[in-house]
Each structure stands twice: as C-alpha cells, then as structure tokens.
Amino acid sequence: MTIRLGIIGTGGMAGEQAKHFKKISGVELSSCFDVVADRAAAFAQQHGVARAAKSIKELLRDVDAVSIVTPDRFHYQGALEVLEAKKHLLCEKPLTLTLAQAREVAAVYKKAAKKGVLGMVNFSYRRSAAMQKAIELAARGELGEVRLASGFYLQSWVAAPIWGPWWKEERWLWRLQTAAGSGGVLGDVGCHLLDMATSVTGNVKRVRCWLGSFPKIAGDGKSYRKWQGKKLDANDTAVIELELESGGMTLLHTSRWAGGHSNHLRLEVHGTRGALRFDLDEGENVLQTCLGENMAKREPDGIHVSWKTEKLEPTPTNYERFIAAIERGRPDQPDIVRGAQIQAYLDACERSARSARWERVRRWD
C-alpha cells in the first residue's frame, strides 16, 4: 500500500516533516504547495517531491493524505479544504486561531470520519515514551484521583541581546506579532504544555491565566515594542492555573524569556495512589514514578518515600503513527477533536487574561 502525501506550507518545519515521512515505508511525497511558488518549487527539488502544485485544489487531486505545516492563521481554511475533500489530515498545532474555528473543523472532521477519513494534530511531544507511559498509568488508575500537577515549557530565544536578533528573522518574527496571526507563546508552545498535562490529569473545568508581553531586546541592547512599523505585542509569558473536573489543581507556566533553557519541558502529577514526573531535558524516554507503598513506607527511623526511574523503549513519532493509523483504518490520538479541546483551553486562558477572573471552559465539539 502506497500513501501519496501532500505538504501544504514549505518552510523550515515542513522540511523536517519531509525528512521524517521519507523514512517511512510506503509513503510517497507526491505534491507540495506554498503561497510563494518559488519556495514550493525549491522545496520539491530539495526533498524529492514529485510536483509543486499551483493551488491546494490541485494538490488534493494527487494525494491520499495531507500535512498542513503553515503559519497558524492558515490552519483553519486548509484543514476545511482537506477534510471536505475526504483526505486524511495531519495538522500542525494549534488546530486553529479561535475556538469557533476549531468547532467548525471538528464538526467537518466527525462527518468525514464516518467515511473513513483520519485526522490528527501534531502535538509532537506525544512521541515521548515517558508521556505515553504517563497517560497509560493515569488511565489505568495507578495515580488514583489527581490532586496536584505542575509543569513548564521554557525557551530563551528572546531573552538576551546575543540571542535577541533571532527574533528579527521571518521564521521567528511572526510569532511575536498578533497582526500576523500569532497566539504568542500561549498558542505556540502553551498548547503543547496543556496537551501534555491534561492528557494525564484529565479534563479542565475552569482556568485562570496571566499573560505578559515584554519589550524585545536587539543586538544593540535597545528594547523594542515595534519592528518595521508592526507591534511586537503577542504574549511571550503565560502563567496558567487549572481547576480539573475531578477537583484537582494544576499550575503551568511558559515563557520565551527563560534564560538557561533552550527548549525545556517538565511535568509532575500527584494523585491519591501515586505520583509521576518526567523532564524531557533528561530524556524523552525517562519516567519517574512513586506508586503504591513507595509513596510512604514506615521505617523504624521514620517515613520514607521511594521514586523509581524507568528507561523506556522509544515510541513512534506522530508521523509514523499518522501513517500507521491510515494503514490500519483506525484513528489515533491526538485527533482533530482533541485539537479542538486544547483550543477550548486556550480560549479560556485568553478570556481569563482579559477579565482577570476564573473562566469556565466552553464546549469544543
């Protein structure tokens, strides 16, 4: 079985995807499309894509499945076109810019799914064996009822003058501008953090969120709130409190100003029967657990706790899992509805940041 794959958007991340897909047996890179035609042509030549299409409609005629790797503001329309054409879809995160858009995409997906169409959102850290095992343990009830969770996603690419000039480059600059459709650090990497945490803790009832946007520092040491006449106003720091449907509490934070952290994710979850934690800087396949009697052993000299460190076998990437789902005809997570759920959490965060109050999560499907 050969799966003809099309790629919409041919920037840097698309190049990484092409490398991954080319390694998967039975996948043919059939077509690519970009609003900049010359960029699509160069991409096709570099990655051995059969043709550079002149439109999404033309691309859809030549493929069985599509990966959308565009800037966030183009996900919505592209996803609708792909799903309405009954093609399998892998969409970069976040699914859309707004909850209303996400609901619409989820509704179209559910109709397409009845005809065998499969869809996933590329929350790429699902490739972590530690995260997959944590989800499994929580689903089996090994943690009991979650009482407390905490996590972070820290970056530093705008943190200091020596790094600051990076933000002037096209591939980074749009992430700092709401006019370019950026959801800031909340939408860009906070969605990963929300997916990672709530896939273990369970669903969220209410959210309280504080967002910040600080002046950017250039190589000359000066601070800028505008660049080339456009505001650098997208949030670059977020602190998020979650009240879980189960009653537990979660505290998450993310920032691009975290000096000393290139791309650092960590999650720790505590329940009535056990706890777990993983830190992706220590390895994507390393999980620590404190379960059952290890939570508190009574010894003659006092009470002791014991954590177990487990080195897990690597799990498939989202690209491998997407293709495998198509081949076996069964959906995998995170699917399009999960993408809409995370958009509902982002929506609650944004509303809370504006109202300075707790906000309830709205329906996502």
- pLDDT at 275 > cutoff 90: yes
Q: What is the pLDDT of residues 171-188, one digit of tens each?
A: 888 899 999 999 999 999
Q: What is the pLDDT of residues 58-100, one digit of tens each?
A: 999 999 999 999 999 999 999 999 999 999 999 999 999 999 9
Residue 263, CA atoms < 13 Å, CB-side half-sphere? 6
Q: How many angstroms separate the Cα of 224 from the Cα of each of 23, 91, 176, 199, 219?
A: 43, 33, 12, 38, 11
| CATH number belonging to the domain at 129-314, selected among 3.30.360.10, 3.30.930.10, 3.40.50.720, 3.20.20.10 | 3.30.360.10
Mean pLDDT along residues 227-234 = 93
pLDDT of residue 302: 58
Comma-separated ranges of CATH 3.30.360.10 domains in the chain: 129-314
- pLDDT at 312 > cutoff 60: yes
Per the model's pLDDT, the better-predicted residue between 162 and 205 turns out to be 205
Q: What is the pLDDT of residues 151-169, one digit of tens each?
A: 999 999 888 655 556 788 8
pLDDT of residue 222: 86
Residues in CB range of 159: below 8 A, 6 or more apart: 256, 257, 258, 259
- pLDDT at 44 > cutoff 90: yes
- pLDDT at 190 > cutoff 70: yes
pLDDT of residue 124: 95
Question: In angstroms, rounded to a whole number, what is the distance separating the alpha carbons of residues 100 and 105?
Answer: 9
Percent of the chain with pLDDT over 70: 96
Which of the four pLDDT bands, split at 50, 70 and 90, describes residue 46? very high
Q: How many angstroms separate the Cα of 9 from the Cα of each of 35, 101, 217, 257?
A: 8, 20, 29, 28
pLDDT of residue 169: 81
Mean pLDDT along residues 324-331 = 96
Mean pLDDT along residues 229-253 = 97
Which of the four pLDDT bands, split at 50, 70 and 90, describes residue 263? very high
pLDDT of residue 308: 95
pLDDT of residue 166: 74
Q: What is the pLDDT of residues 103-156, one digit of tens each?
A: 999 999 999 999 999 999 999 999 999 999 999 999 999 999 999 999 999 999
Comma-separated ranges of CATH 3.40.50.720 domains in the chain: 3-125
- pLDDT at 304 > cutoff 80: no
Consecutive H or E run containing 204: strand 204-212
The type of residue at 18 is A
pLDDT of residue 161: 59
CATH number, span 3-125: 3.40.50.720
Mean pLDDT along residues 307-313 = 96
Percent of the chain with pLDDT over 90: 86
pLDDT of residue 305: 77
Measured CA angle at 223 (ends 220, 226), to 5 deg = 115
> Is the CB of residue 168 less than 8 Å from the CB of residue 321?
no
The type of residue at 170 is E
pLDDT of residue 172: 86
Mean pLDDT along residues 319-343 = 97
Residues in CB range of 14: below 8 A, 6 or more apart: 7, 32, 43, 67, 69
